[in-house]
Amino acid sequence: MVEPTGVTEDGTDHDEHEVVLPALLRAARGAYRDAIRAELAAGGFDDMPRSGPFVLGGMANRGGTAGDLVRALGVSRQAASQLIDTLVIRGYLERRVDPADRRRNTLDLTERGAAAGGAVRAGVEKVDAELALRLRVEELAGLRAGLVALAEINARSAAAQRPSG
């Protein structure tokens, strides 16, 4: 694995421009994951399922719905249902009957879920602050633009692979 210094696990030194983007993205994504996991552990949220921080953080900090966030993960309906069930059982989400349509359920953050969402936000902010110290404003804007472009490429590719009809 490539370390931020450009040194691989075997100790080989590489110029960061020689390392392919997929390897850099894989190495870099751990910065947010590890910071979020550390904040969750410090807050006593050590039972968080793997994709739980994405759902709870999105609900608490961005106002997203659990359904929309789980769909954004791109997992099967079964995996999505299992994730939601786990978050409900562990006290992060509460399932309620929708008063406007009793056939539907709504999912809301519990106090515990909101607190875990705050821990997710704190982990993200730690990494963002370190990035702001290491990169100039223009570099950070370029990084963001590049990641947005990659996300758009991914979305377009995923849409093209979906069956029409």
SS3 content of the chain, % helix, strand, coil (to 5): 60, 10, 30
In a domain, 148, yes or no: yes
**pLDDT at residue number 33:** 94
In a domain, 10, yes or no: no
In a domain, 3, yes or no: no
CA–CA dist 19, 13 (Å, integer): 10
In a domain, 1, yes or no: no
**pLDDT at residue number 94:** 93
Q: What does each of the 165 residues of the chain score in pLDDT, given as a tens digit?
A: 455 555 455 555 556 668 899 999 988 889 999 999 999 999 999 999 999 999 999 888 887 777 788 888 888 888 888 999 999 999 999 988 888 888 888 888 999 999 999 999 999 999 999 999 999 999 999 999 999 999 899 888 877 877 765
User: In the structure, how many helices (H) and strands (E) does the chain have?
Assistant: 6, 2
Segments forming the whole domain that contains residue 64: 21-159
Cβ–Cβ < 8 Å for 165, 157: no
In a domain, 84, yes or no: yes
Number of domains in the chain: 1
Best CA proximity match to 29, nearest among 49, 13, 53: 53
In a domain, 164, yes or no: no
In a domain, 5, yes or no: no
**pLDDT at residue number 6:** 52
Residue 71: give its domain's CATH number: 1.10.10.10
In a domain, 131, yes or no: yes
pTM as predicted: 0.78
